Amino acid sequence: KAGVTQTPRYLIKTRGQQVTLSCSPISGHRSVSWYQQTPGQGLQFLFEYFSETQRNKGNFPGRFSGRQFSNSRSEMNVSTLELGDSALYLCASRGRLNTEAFFGQGTRLTVV
Amino acid sequence: DQQVKQNSPSLSVQEGRISILNCDYTNSMFDYFLWYKKYPAEGPTFLISISSIKDKNEDGRFTVFLNKSAKHLSLHIVPSQPGDSAVYFCAASAGSGGGADGLTFGKGTHLIIQP
């Protein structure tokens, strides 16, 4: 069974630009969540989608948004990038009955 | 306000001995707790979990203990092996049955296994 796949693995963007990250969950998983990892703040929850609906949202500004498609794939978008958005962005999927979240390898975003 | 706290940023243990990683939480609504292991440049890997209706869960060398009254959980690794060297994250979830809530993570403990 394939794991959670995130693309791209690495990304360099300029301040003010916008970026879209992609996540394909484990087959059969309908819940996809996104996390930001930075050295100072650790792993912080961004939002979670279930059956194309955002079910929960962390404490991040509106520049961070996401969506989920009917095949459970998810995208995360960050607009008007700031230097502080440089981080490892992790996607995780969960099965309907399981509560363990399985993570992808992440997308390393660098804003210059 | 940090709801999940791992107060030891790092821990060094000799190979073959027991590693004990600790985690405290403040939110009484948390009812499901998980431990993840993370290597650099990789996503966290799920290790073991425990529901709030239990006080212990064991899986091979890994055992998680939950003390609800103290809002404290710990991960025991016995015996510790070199491959266990990694950052360990404690995570908690509220209302986890529906899988709708995000996980709240601690900041991690870097476990170093000394040969």
Mean pLDDT taken over chain A: 92
Q: Which residues of B28-41 are buried (b: 16+ CB within 10 A; e: fewer)?
A: eebbbbbbbbbeee
Q: How confident is the model at residue A98 (pLDDT cuts 50, 70, 90)?
A: low
How far is it, in rounded angstroms, from Cα A103 to Cα B89?
Answer: 13
Mean pLDDT along residues B29-47: 91
Q: How confident is the model at residue B97 (pLDDT cuts 50, 70, 90)?
A: very low
A33 and B CB contact within 8 Å: yes
In chain A, which residue's Cα lies nearest the Cα of B32?
A99
Which residues of A are less than 8 Å from B104 in CB distance? 45
Residue that the structure tokens 């989608």 belong to: A49
Which residues of B are less than 8 Å from A45 in CB distance? 102-105
Which residues of A are less than 8 Å from B99 in CB distance? 31, 50, 94-99
A63 and B CB contact within 8 Å: no
Out of B32, B101, B105, the one facing A42 most closely (by C-beta) is: B105
B19 and A CB contact within 8 Å: no
Q: How confident is the model at residue A39 (pLDDT cuts 50, 70, 90)?
A: confident
How far is it, in rounded angstroms, from Cα B47 to Cα B86?
Answer: 12
Distance from CA of A79 to the nearest CA of B (A): 22
Q: How confident is the model at residue A75 (pLDDT cuts 50, 70, 90)?
A: very high
